[in-house]
Chain A
Amino acid sequence: MSKDIRIKKGLNINLVGAAEQTTSKAVLSNVYALNLDDFHGITPKMLVKQGEEVKAGEPLFYNKNKEEMHFVSPVSGELVEIVRGARRRILTLKILADKNQEYVQNKVPDMDTADALAIKSFLLQCGGWPFIKQRPFDVIADPDVTPKAIFVSGYTTAPLAADVNYVLKDKEQELQMAITALGKLTPGKIHVTIGKSGRSPFSDLNGIELHEISGPHPAGLVGTQINRIDPVNKGEVVWTISPQDLVMLGELLLTGKFNAERTIALAGSIIKSPKYYTTKIGAEISTFLYASGVNEDRFRLINGDVLTGRKTNTEGYLGFYNNTVTAIPEGDDYEFFGWNKPVFNKISTTRALTFSWLQPKKKYDLNTNTNGEHRAFVVTGQYEEVFPLDIYPMQLLKACMVKDLDEMEQLGLYEVAPEDFALTEFICISKQPHQQIIREGLDLLQKELG
């Protein structure tokens, strides 16, 4: 039977504009793009030249450090532009989609007889591998290392994020396929954590260790679940994969085709009718954004949720890993005596004339204002209230800031990803960039000791 996990520390951020559970088909996008920032730490080597035609699922580039690891095109069409930045670093690949989509037909390994090596090389070859991420370092998994366990979070607690149970409806077959395949890649377990309420498509799958979790955000983050179930020690590796990416892997293993289609939530107070859309990885956001309508001309468009997403704009493209697009008001305005007057329309964990504690269920319309300036760390004990991991958050952040490798290691940097520090960043009185600090710490640790 499933095991229960209860999270007490945390904070639910209730925002206006949650996506209604109806799905429309987004208009077909003309151009699809892969943003290389999505693949942290990967140095791309192009396999296709500008102007050449590719099929959906055909490799566009490979990982310089691991040549077998291919990154494939989400659609068939012409590679029209390779956008480069400083020192000719590739930023974005744009593909002009064909009217008739053609797919690469890969030869699927037989699941009954295939061994780990066969499955690995299939996923690496056909573009499924980048969906698998690893801890430590929160990067695309190293295929040479055997993970001690694989973690999947089947529970959503992030503000306005796509509801896992809804987007995975009727995908049991794909999920089971992917679980069976991944099960061959680890001698350990595949831990799947679901919420208490609602029917999860994971409930009846075989080959998984099922956990039920309850509590506020970040209960739905896989990092919280790893910490409770089987924390990462120095030298150990675990893999994580999001449920929707699991579906893609499943379909790839069932049909041999890389189908980049996914259901995403379009949410946020700016959106007139927030709801779900089916579209493809890399699609132009405008293809579904304006179908739902926007309330204002100026707003913040986010690839992902409001805590961990990436800033984009109306000419942007859906990210590789994202299943949520959020639009919230910009907050670039001054507020008269904003620092001392009573606050009713913002969220706070204190009660210093802030009154969000009176209505924990109220939905707020937050904007992007920082509500104050960047300061040194002053207040203590507040991060701990929203940080359920068995880690000292402020001490770890400070260790990363001063680049103390020993401390970073000892205080548990191997166990965390930047997203685990999103809540502490949200409530931070000193407005420190926690996720960036952790990211830089992870990069440093990987470079020096990884």
Chain B
Amino acid sequence: MGLKEKLHTFRVKNQDKKWFPVFSGFHTFLFTPNETTHNGTHIKGADDLKRTMNTVVMSLVPCLIFGMFNTGYQHYLALGEIEPVANGFFSAGFWTMDNFLLGLWKVLPLVIVSYGVGLAIEFLFCVIKKHEIEEGYLVTGMLVPLIVPVDLPLWMLAVAVAFGVVIGKEVFGGTGMNILNPALTIRAFLFFAYPTWMSGDKVWVHGAVDTAGTADAISGETVLGFLAQGRTAEMGYSLSDMFLGFIPGSIGETSTLLILLGGLFLVFSKIASWRIMLSAVIGALAMGLIFNGIVEAGWIPEYSKFYTLMSFEYWQHLLVGGLAFGIVFMATDPVTGSQTNQGKWIYGFLIGFLSVMIRVFNPGYPEGVFLAILLMNVFAPTIDHYVVRGNIKKRMKRLKTATIYPKPSDEVDALKTETA
């Protein structure tokens, strides 16, 4: 008897057990179920939610692996043990075993905690509510380690994940029902609960926190950090560093190149909305151009604390911070984003627009993407409401010229009222 038959017998025997959803969750990962259609369409398309989610996870893997290398690279670079790389994306000094092993050692626990805590809560809720385990957390669990600083203590992550999954998702009814992006809810929780671990110049490079205040102190300021403090001269990162990702930052969001490739894959596979991605880029560029224009018009003095960020070349906003990552992987979440095609244009544009705006006007914590997306998550249903209203209005207008013939029974009623 093969594995398939054994699992089938086991499945049939234990269908009424409390833990059945958990078994079923693992079983359906190994084998697509033997379910058949009843009435309705007798055939079904090839895609299911597992495949969809898996596609997103696959597009994130390059960012994760790059993040591991970059963790080691930034650490050894800050310690002065290695030289900055300058030979493009495949520089030998970056792709070393040392860099990778350190990154693996630091990043893997974050991934394990993220998936472990999140999935445990999901399983628990599925058992309580007796429904199938849905795949939403597969993507969330992968996103979370990529958008936090590398030195974040694991217990903080665990607390944040628990909060994000329960409050951000399960209380609304689980996958497909949530209003806020769960991964960003987790990040927002971390940011407001433990701000010192989520911002500043110490958390972005492994080792900076431990060595702070000692003679060996290393700094790990992000590009945005430099800009917000007007210290552009000290920065020393080239445009290609920013594009390829050889800069400090959250684990998975530094390499704009890999994010771009992941985004193209998602658009090609028709899993993520190109409308949201494109309009968000346009929105970010528009806001950047406006700020550049303000600076050029001379409306803002050079000593203003907004000056450096405002004068930052408009298109370079897309290369630094988490903007690109947010646009490609977070804004396109179909559950929390706008659901109509027209709405997606508005929703995406405002995300890009607001991200750059928050970034510039909030120098204390110069990253606005997650706040912009969370804000737009809240407004997405409103945008959809007005888009759908447009369709309804068209229908109402048509109604004015409707040809409705009276029923014979209506005529009898009319006669009665006339004679009365």
Q: Which of B40, B49, B177, B384 contacts A425 (CB 8 A)?
A: B40
Is B15 located at the chain interface by the 8 A CB criterion? no
Report A222-243 residues with CB < 8 Å from chain B CB. Answer: 231, 233-237
A352-B51, A376-B175, A378-B52 given; A369·B44 CB < 8 A: yes
CA of A435 to CA of B39, assembled, Å = 9
Interface bits A298-342 vs B (CB < 8 Å: 1, else 0): 001010001111110000000000000010101111111111100
Report A139-191 residues with CB < 8 Å from chain B CB. Answer: 144-148, 187-188
CA of A280 to CA of B173, assembled, Å = 51
Instruction: Please indicate the chain A residues that have their CB under 8 angstroms from the CB of B391 in the complex.
Output: 390-392, 411-412
Is B116 located at the chain interface by the 8 A CB criterion? no
CA of A54 to CA of B285, assembled, Å = 79
Query: In the complex, how many residues of chain A place their beta carbon closer than 8 angstroms to a beta carbon of chain B?
Result: 85
Is B67 located at the chain interface by the 8 A CB criterion? no
CA of A448 to CA of B35, assembled, Å = 35
Is B216 located at the chain interface by the 8 A CB criterion? no
Q: Is the CB of A334 within 8 A of B41?
A: no
A376-B176, A392-B388 given; A188·B403 CB < 8 A: yes
Q: Is the CB of B402 within 8 A of A233?
A: yes
| Chain A minimum-CB-distance residue to B134 | A375
Interface bits B392-420 vs A (CB < 8 Å: 1, else 0): 10111011001111011100000000000
- Listed stretches B117-125, B185-193, B267-275; interface member: B267-275
A350-B271, A381-B334 given; A333·B34 CB < 8 A: yes
Instruction: Please indicate the chain A residues that have their CB under 8 angstroms from the CB of B135 in the complex.
Output: 375
Interface bits B238-270 vs A (CB < 8 Å: 1, else 0): 000000000000000000000000000000111
Looking at the assembled complex, report how far the CB atom of A435 sits from the nearest CB atom of chain B, in whole angstroms: 5
Q: Is the CB of A368 within 8 A of B176?
A: no
Q: Is the CB of B43 within 8 A of A328?
A: yes
Is A446 located at the chain interface by the 8 A CB criterion? no
- Listed stretches B223-231, B306-314, B339-347, B367-375; interface member: B339-347
Q: Which of A306, A353, A394 contacts B51 (CB 8 A)?
A: A353
Instruction: Please indicate the chain A residues that have their CB under 8 angstroms from the CB of B16 in the complex.
Output: none
Q: Which of B175, B269, B273, B394 contacts A350 (CB 8 A)?
A: B269
A346-B46, A378-B136, A381-B273 given; A372·B32 CB < 8 A: yes
Determine which residue in B52, B388, B398 has the highest number of CB atoms from chain A within 10 A of its CB, and name it.
Answer: B52
Is A363 located at the chain interface by the 8 A CB criterion? no
Q: Is the CB of A347 within 8 A of B46?
A: yes
Looking at the assembled complex, report how far the CB atom of B79 sits from the nearest CB atom of chain A, in whole angstroms: 40
Is A211 located at the chain interface by the 8 A CB criterion? no
Looking at the assembled complex, report how far the CB atom of B270 sits from the nearest CB atom of chain A, in whole angstroms: 4
Chain A interface SS verdict (over half): loop
Is A26 located at the chain interface by the 8 A CB criterion? no
A236-B404, A392-B391 given; A311·B42 CB < 8 A: yes
Is A121 located at the chain interface by the 8 A CB criterion? no
Is B81 located at the chain interface by the 8 A CB criterion? no
Q: Is the CB of A377 within 8 A of B42?
A: no
CA of A336 to CA of B407, assembled, Å = 59
Instruction: Please indicate the chain B residues that have their CB under 8 angstroms from the CB of A353 in the complex.
Output: 51, 55, 269
- Listed stretches B23-31, B152-160, B206-214, B290-298; interface member: B23-31
- Listed stretches A58-66, A106-114, A283-291, A426-434; interface member: A426-434
Is A206 located at the chain interface by the 8 A CB criterion? no
Looking at the assembled complex, report how far the CB atom of A158 sits from the nearest CB atom of chain B, in whole angstroms: 11
Is A384 located at the chain interface by the 8 A CB criterion? yes
CA of A376 to CA of B177, assembled, Å = 8
Q: Is the CB of A336 within 8 A of B4?
A: yes
Looking at the assembled complex, report how far the CB atom of A436 sits from the nearest CB atom of chain B, in whole angstroms: 6
Q: Is the CB of A235 within 8 A of B402?
A: yes
Q: Is the CB of A371 within 8 A of B36?
A: no
Is B335 located at the chain interface by the 8 A CB criterion? yes
Looking at the assembled complex, report how far the CB atom of A370 sits from the nearest CB atom of chain B, in whole angstroms: 5
Q: Is the CB of A334 within 8 A of B43?
A: no
Is A281 located at the chain interface by the 8 A CB criterion? no
Is B170 located at the chain interface by the 8 A CB criterion? no
CA of A427 to CA of B4, assembled, Å = 27
Q: Is the CB of A373 within 8 A of B48?
A: yes
Instruction: Please indicate the chain B residues that have their CB under 8 angstroms from the CB of A22 in the complex.
Output: none
A350-B47, A372-B47, A380-B337 given; A335·B176 CB < 8 A: no
Q: Is the CB of A334 within 8 A of B32?
A: yes
Interface bits B126-148 vs A (CB < 8 Å: 1, else 0): 00000010111000000000000
| Chain A minimum-CB-distance residue to B396 | A410
CA of A307 to CA of B39, assembled, Å = 9
A373-B28, A373-B33, A375-B49 given; A234·B399 CB < 8 A: yes
CA of A372 to CA of B134, assembled, Å = 11
Is A379 located at the chain interface by the 8 A CB criterion? yes
Q: Which of A349, A371, A411 contacts B270 (CB 8 A)?
A: A349
Instruction: Please indicate the chain B residues that have their CB under 8 angstroms from the CB of A294 in the complex.
Output: none
Interface bits B104-117 vs A (CB < 8 Å: 1, else 0): 00000000000000
Is A244 located at the chain interface by the 8 A CB criterion? no
Instruction: Please indicate the chain A residues that have their CB under 8 angstroms from the CB of B174 in the complex.
Output: 376
Q: Is the CB of A381 within 8 A of B52?
A: no
Q: Which of B134, B175, B398, B407 contacts A233 (CB 8 A)?
A: B398
Instruction: Please indicate the chain B residues that have their CB under 8 angstroms from the CB of A188 in the complex.
Output: 403
Q: Is the CB of A381 within 8 A of B45?
A: no
Is A367 located at the chain interface by the 8 A CB criterion? yes
Q: Is the CB of A366 within 8 A of B43?
A: yes
Is B37 located at the chain interface by the 8 A CB criterion? yes
Looking at the assembled complex, report how far the CB atom of B403 sits from the nearest CB atom of chain A, in whole angstroms: 4
Looking at the assembled complex, report how far the CB atom of A358 sits from the nearest CB atom of chain B, in whole angstroms: 13
A352-B47, A372-B51, A376-B134 given; A236·B176 CB < 8 A: no
Is A422 located at the chain interface by the 8 A CB criterion? yes
Q: Is the CB of A370 within 8 A of B402?
A: no
Interface bits A33-69 vs B (CB < 8 Å: 1, else 0): 0000000000000000000000000000000000000
Instruction: Please indicate the chain A residues that have their CB under 8 angstroms from the CB of B46 in the complex.
Output: 343, 346-348, 354, 356, 371
Looking at the assembled complex, report how far the CB atom of A380 sits from the nearest CB atom of chain B, in whole angstroms: 4
Q: Is the CB of B176 within 8 A of A377?
A: yes
Is A255 located at the chain interface by the 8 A CB criterion? no
CA of A148 to CA of B31, assembled, Å = 53
| Chain A minimum-CB-distance residue to B33 | A373
Q: Is the CB of A429 within 8 A of B49?
A: yes
A334-B8, A411-B392 given; A379·B402 CB < 8 A: no
Is B54 located at the chain interface by the 8 A CB criterion? yes
Given contacts A369-B32, A375-B48, A426-B44, 14 further A-B pairs with CB under 8 A are: A147-B405, A237-B405, A336-B31, A339-B51, A348-B46, A350-B270, A370-B35, A371-B44, A371-B47, A374-B132, A382-B270, A392-B340, A392-B388, A435-B40
**Can you pick out 12 interface pairs between chain A and chain B where the beta carbons lie within 8 Å of each other?**
A144-B407, A148-B404, A334-B32, A334-B34, A336-B30, A353-B51, A354-B47, A380-B340, A410-B395, A411-B391, A422-B40, A430-B176
For the complex of A and B, the 10 pairs showing the least CB-CB separation, nearest first, are: A372-B48, A376-B176, A338-B32, A346-B46, A334-B31, A339-B50, A146-B405, A233-B402, A348-B46, A352-B55
Interface residue ranges, A against B (CB under 8 Å): 13, 15, 144-148, 187-188, 231, 233-237, 300, 302, 306-311, 326, 328, 330-340, 343, 346-354, 356, 366-382, 384, 390-392, 394-395, 410-412, 422, 425-431, 433-436
